[in-house]
Structure formats: structure tokens, C-alpha cells
Structure 1
Amino acid sequence: MEKTKSTGTGGVGGGSGISRARFLAGTAAAGLTGALLPAAGARATERPDMATAARGHGGGLTRRGVVYTLVDGETPVTGFSPARMRADIRTIRDDLHANSVEVTGDGVERLNATASEVAERGMHVWLQPTLGDVPERDILEHLAETGRHAERLRRQGASVEFSVGCEFWLFVPGIVPGDTVLDRIENLLNGTVDWEKMQRRLDRFTARAAAVGRSVFHGRLSYAAAQDDKVDWNLFDVIGVDYYSYYPNRADYVRELRRYLEWGKPVAITEFGTCTYEGAPQAGGMGWYVVDYDKVPQEIKGDLVRSERTQAAYLVDLLDVFESMGLYAAMAFEFGTADAEHRADNPLYDVDMASYGINKAVKDRAGDPSSPWHWEPKEAFRALARRYACR
């Protein structure tokens, strides 16, 4: 699941305490989606050579970027700040050397403001609203408003693509029983779900979202699916995948990802990453589940060993795979998680170990929720920057 990305996107479902980002990655890596959704549906019957069509150009990645998640924040000091956002976007361009930013989360004004900032800085915009746990009508209106802004940017000459959302079965009420993300996950784990009915509801909403996206945005349209989701990719121009697998051999990544090329469309890895401790890649999208969120302050569970090198190596290895396959885009998850404080003074409270962020949040007064804070780059940031700068 993007994880409960309270995401890096704020609380998933009304004060759940886990972020949507953390939750999203979790289900994907735990193999939950594979259990609940069949493998990819019928492929397009007529298509150009899949290897050529899936490439954005002659070889390697066209879009090399990072996910920038917009959230309310768990405290006032970690809430959305236009000034901090502008500084972050400059850092992504000038220091990370990314040429694309996936602007995701909820809140029309902050999504649109951030997308505009990315465009003004001359980078490619991948705009993806992810409002959840509200009625379908509200989700579609939120989608339409951000899509209209994406279209305005496109008409002004910006490089923009629009994603109608991610993993609808998890975030859109009514597809899986349950009022909140956590309720729906519990029902999925308990098996109290009519799988065929769920798939019909998912197909119906995905088609509605695609229609709304087409009605307001006239550039390339996409959707970010969990691994093994069944999606009718005929609805979209670009295939988006939130990818959190771990294999000891690179050939296994290629084998797993190759199936997405069969549609003959560009393939974008809309999320990939891992947490910041030894063994985190093997935990995949559930890497965040090493924190006791019920304690105040939150504590790391078990005897973890912090390892920025582990996170950096995993990201670079996957980037090599994506480059070798000529995929269209790859977005590292994520720029940072403001509410996951790094505590160099006390590993028990170093919640950043459970963060997928390539930057760590460091407070002026460690452990103080009201303290000012700043980003410091992790090894993953520097490793990606070196790779992105070479292209």
C-alpha cells in the first residue's frame, strides 16, 4: 500500500495514524494485491512492437524523477508550506538532477501550486491526485479540478502527464467493504470480500475516472496500479506501476516487469523504493511496519540497524533494471517524510529508519513536536543524484 502514505500523504483515513504512503507500499509488497486481484487482463489485440512502443526513446529512461507527496502533516510544523515546497522543487532540479516530479496527494490548491512550480522550473510534471475515504463524487470532482489545471499547464507549453489516481480498490469507498482504508484492509485480510463483485466495482470506477480525466485533460493519461492489479490498460496511454519487489537476481525483476510491456505502451514505475535499515528491501512495501505507532513518542520495534547504504543500493539496482529495459519513467519514492524524524542521538526513536524518503527530517530540538526542522540528504539522495546527472 502507498503504506498508511498519515501516506507521506497525511493520514490515510481520518486519523488512522499511519501514512497513505506507508500503507500503499505495504499491500503491494506483502503480495496482498496479488491475492485479491487476478493477473493482468486481456491485452490489446493490435499493437506495435511492444519493446519499441514501451520505450520513451531509443534506450534508457526518458523520465527520471521522484515522488513529492503533499499532506496535511501530523503537526502544524510538518504541514504544507508553500515556501518549503518551492525550496524542495529547486533542490529536486538543481541537486537531485531529476527531470520529472510526481506531484501526488490531495488538496486541489496545493497540488496545483506544486505542479505549477515544477513546470516553471522546467521539469516534467506527473500530476496524480489521490484523495481517498470520501464519496466517489468528491473524488471525481477533485480529480477534475486538478486535471483542468494540468491541461492549462499543458496548453501553456509545459511538459505534463496526468494520472487519475492510484490503487482505487484501496482508497475509494464502495469497491471493498469498509468506511476507511484500515477497515478495507481488515476485510481483505479476513477474506470477507466478494472478489468478483469487487473487481466489477473497481473496473466501473476506473472507467469513470478515466472518462473524467479524458474530459478535462487532452495529453497523455495514466493510472498507478499496485503490482498484479487487473487493469484495462486500453483506457490509458501510459501504464503506471507502484513497484516494491525484492529479488537477489536482477533477471527476476526483468521477468516480473516484462509482462507490462505486452500492452505495447510506455511503462512508468510510479513508485519504487525501500526503507533505511538492513533487511528493508526484503520487507518490500511493508518495510515501514517496524514502528510501534501506539506509543508516544513512537518507537522502533526490534533491534534494527540503520543503513542508508542499503536503501541507496536498492534504488540504484532497480534504476539499472528500469534503464536496461528501456522503461519510460521511474519515480523514486519519495522525496521525504516530514513526520518521520531522524534521531541520531537515540536509535529507539529514529523513526526515519521506517521512512522511504531519500531525505531525512532533522529537528532543531530532537523529539519536540513543535520544533523547527530541515531536510538532510541520505545516501540514497546522493546516489540517485549521481545517476540522474549522468543522463
Structure 2
Amino acid sequence: MAETKGSGQTKGISRAQFLAGAAAVGAAGVAGPAGQARAAQARHGRGLRRRGVVYTVGAGETPGTAWSARRMRHDIRAIRDDLHADTVDVTGDGVERLTTTAAEAAERGLHVWLQPTLGDAPQRDILEHIAETGRFAERLRRQGASVDFSVGCEFWLFVPGILPGETVLERIENLRNGTVDWPRMRRRLADFTVRAAKVGRSVFRGNLSYAAAQSIDAPDWNLFDIVGIDYYAHFDRPSDHVRELRPYLKWGKPLAITEFGTCAYVGAPETDGMGWDIVDYDKEPPEIKGNPVRSERVQADYVGGLLDVFASMGLYAAMAFEFISADAPHRPDAPRLDLDMASYALTKVIRDRPDDPASGWHWEPKEAFRAVARRYGAAGHRTSQSQ
């Protein structure tokens, strides 16, 4: 799920709020027989075929943190040249933002994983948003770009009419309260997923996918060419991650980890994706709760370790969540206001004037950025040598 920073009451939903709702209802498991893959074979030996990062496009909280073409072009170059990724997961809403970013990535020679994620809109609008973005993805593909298309992310929460509630926050509250008719929810989810897949197929002729929540989603993967999983789990042993992910290979299709990551403080990996929950958004400005200890090393070790697991399994793709979170600035001078501590981003945002939300800013790489860059760079070097 693409993270949206801001007040937990009025400005959207972040990954941890989302996963907190998922955790409240427990795991649904993975079910279904092995399907016939329309994409490349599911496994190709050791190493990742696609080495990627999530790049979210969106309106932002302020004009200074909103998507801009200038910043995007700079970021795409850094993703290719400094992070050494060969894939960018362009996600978010707004067809113009999505398509402009995807075109830039393709022009820079990157593989594009294009995923529209419009939420809290009428279902017909969400399906049209998928169709418009998919048509552009098909144009890119026909022009020779390397493109996979995902019809969306975790529909059961973002699409109204599947769970009770008009907004994501209301739906999460209903999850927490237990006011969900699960058989009805699963029928509605299956119905919308079929409709979305049909729309995707009607406009895009390449490989189709969907980003499923590990804990709740159990789509019919026969609808898609690539199995996509948002993976936020903590285990002490790499073998336990392998055990957790292996069932998704039973479909006989390529497996893409469409999101994975954690935050930059001690204990964040153990939250299973709820790391941002250390922020109190009822305060103005938002504050860090308790006394967490900032540690970029914790984030780097977790992200790097998972990349090693994914490579050992020979997965199709892995997209680290995420490149930047502009609305979560780093405050080394004020730990209580250091929102980057609760960010999944590989970079930290530094404001020119820390106390001014309208201030200019730049990003700097975190230790996790360097951990990913070392692995992606080494893998790219091995690939070039073998060609």
C-alpha cells in the first residue's frame, strides 16, 4: 500500500494504520491450486530478476512536498545511478503523475511496474483510473519499454463497498471493532478483483498483477500472470521467511514482493509493518510517542536481510518500500519531532528551515539506501558479466 502521511484523522492513511487494521483480524492464509503461468517461469535460479523500489506519486500534504516533475526526474536518475535499481514501482493516484513518472523511468532504461492506487472513490471511478493508466502502460510496452501492470493494491481496504465504511479510516475502525461480515466481504472482494482484472486485460497485453496484503488478501491468482505480495513480517531466521513465502510459489507463477521494509528505530521490525505507530498525529505538530531509539542500522539490516532471502529464492522481483516520504522530515535537533524515525523510506528529508512546513528541502541517503545499493549494484555487475 502506498503510504500517505498526515493526520490520522483527516489527511489519509499510513501503512501502519492500515496494517494495524489487518492485524486486528488475523491472517487469512494462502489458498488455491497451482495455476498456469502466462508470464516467464516462476523461478530462474538464484538472484532477483527485478531489483526495485517503490516510488509514490501523490498530491502531498503541502505544495512543497507534493509531486513535481523536476524532483521526480532527479529521483529517477538517483534510483538508477545511485541505488542501482533496475525497476521502479510507480504507484499512487492521478493519471498524469503516474504516466509522466512511468515514462521518465522507461526513458531512463528502467523496468516499470505501474500500479494505480486510487482509493475512497466510487468503484466505477477506480476502474476507469485503472483503465486509463493501463492504456498508457500498453502504449509504453508497444514502444519497446519493459512494463508490468498491477491493477491496484489491497482492494479490500481501499475500495468502498467491500468493507463497511465510507473512508479507509472508517473501514479500519470497523475491522478493529469486529463489525465485518467476512463471507460477504470476501464475495465483494472477489467480485471487484475479477472486475479489475478484466479491465486490466482489456487495455494491457503484457504481464498483469495485483498487490495483495499478506495477512488478509487471498485472490484467485489464476486471474493474473504475476503473484504480488506486500510483505511485512519479522522472523529471526531467514529460513522462516522462506517458509512463509513458499506457499505463494505453489501457483506456478512468478512471485513479486511488491512492498517490504521497516522503520529506522530499535524494535521496528518486530512491529510487522506497524512501525509508524510511534507518531501521535493528534499533536500539532505531530510528535514521536514514548522514547524510541533511532537506528538506521536496524532498518538497513532488516531490508538487506530480506533482499538476501528473496535473492536466495530466485524471486521475480522485490520492491523496497519506499524511496522517499516527503512529509516525514528528519529532525536530528529535535528527536521528539523526528518523523523520519517512523518512515519506511530509504532516504531522509531535511528541511532548510526545520520548523517551517513550507520550507524547501532535500533528501539524503539513509543506511538502508546504502544497504540496498550495495546488493543491487553487485547483482547488476554479476548480470552484466554473464551477458
TM-score range, shorter chain: over 0.9
For this pair of structures, how many residues does the alignment match?
377
Q: Secondary structure at the match of 2:54?
A: strand
Aligned CA RMSD, in angstroms, stands at: 1.8
Letter in 1 for 2:139: R
Alignment of 1:47-66 (within 5 A): 53-55=41-43, 57-66=44-53
Query: Is 2:340 the partner of 1:346?
Result: no
From 18, 25, 39, the counterpart of 2:29: 39
From 11, 14, 36, the counterpart of 1:17: 11
CA deviations over 1:155-214 (Å, ceiling 9, x no partner): 000000000001000000000000000101111111111100000000000000000000
Are the aligned partners of 1:17 and 1:293 in contact in 2 as well (CA < 8 Å)?
Answer: no
The equivalent of 1:152 in structure 2 is 139
Q: Secondary structure at the match of 1:78?
A: coil
From 58, 61, 74, the counterpart of 1:74: 61
The equivalent of 2:257 in structure 1 is 269
Unaligned stretches of 5+ residues in structure 1: none
CA deviations over 1:23-79 (Å, ceiling 9, x no partner): 445445x36451xxx32232136679xxx9321x33210001100011111111101
Q: Compared with structure 1, are the counterparts of its residues 118 and 311 closer, same or farther at alpha carbon in structure 2 (3 Å cutoff)?
A: same
Query: Is 2:212 the partner of 1:222?
Result: no
Letter in 1 for 2:158: F
The equivalent of 2:367 in structure 1 is 379
Q: CA deviation at 1:320?
A: 0.7
The equivalent of 2:383 in structure 1 is none
Are the aligned partners of 1:335 and 1:357 in contact in 2 as well (CA < 8 Å)?
Answer: yes
Q: CA deviation at 1:11?
A: 6.3
From 294, 298, 322, the counterpart of 1:306: 294
Q: Compared with structure 1, are the counterparts of its residues 327 and 71 closer, same or farther at alpha carbon in structure 2 (3 Å cutoff)?
A: same
CA deviations over 1:118-151 (Å, ceiling 9, x no partner): 0000000000000000100000000000000000
Are the aligned partners of 1:164 and 1:223 in contact in 2 as well (CA < 8 Å)?
Answer: yes
Between the aligned partners of 1:69 and 1:33, the Cα distance in structure 2 is 27
Are the aligned partners of 1:12 and 1:132 in contact in 2 as well (CA < 8 Å)?
Answer: no
Query: Is 2:318 the partner of 1:324?
Result: no
Q: CA deviation at 1:370?
A: 1.0
Q: Compared with structure 1, are the counterparts of its residues 157 and 11 closer, same or farther at alpha carbon in structure 2 (3 Å cutoff)?
A: farther
Letter in 2 for 1:44: A
Letter in 2 for 1:16: T
Letter in 2 for 1:309: R
Query: Is 2:171 the partner of 1:178?
Result: no
Query: Is 2:283 the partner of 1:295?
Result: yes
Letter in 2 for 1:224: A
Are the aligned partners of 2:13 and 2:168 in contact in 1 as well (CA < 8 Å)?
Answer: no
Q: Secondary structure at the match of 1:67?
A: strand
Q: Secondary structure at the match of 1:134?
A: coil
Are the aligned partners of 1:243 and 1:272 in contact in 2 as well (CA < 8 Å)?
Answer: yes
Q: Secondary structure at the match of 2:149?
A: strand
The equivalent of 2:180 in structure 1 is 193
From 147, 153, 156, the counterpart of 1:166: 153
Are the aligned partners of 2:200 and 2:208 in contact in 1 as well (CA < 8 Å)?
Answer: yes
Letter in 1 for 2:305: D
Q: Give the alignment's TM-score, normalised by structure 1.
A: 0.93
Between the aligned partners of 1:305 and 1:12, the Cα distance in structure 2 is 23
The equivalent of 1:115 in structure 2 is 102
Q: Secondary structure at the match of 1:334?
A: coil
Q: Compared with structure 1, are the counterparts of its residues 21 and 152 closer, same or farther at alpha carbon in structure 2 (3 Å cutoff)?
A: farther
Q: CA deviation at 1:293?
A: 0.3
Between the aligned partners of 1:176 and 1:91, the Cα distance in structure 2 is 39
Q: CA deviation at 1:19?
A: 3.8
From 228, 237, 247, the counterpart of 1:249: 237
Letter in 1 for 2:61: E
The equivalent of 1:136 in structure 2 is 123
Q: Secondary structure at the match of 1:197?
A: helix
Are the aligned partners of 1:25 and 1:244 in contact in 2 as well (CA < 8 Å)?
Answer: no
Alignment of 1:230-245 (within 5 A): 230-245=218-233
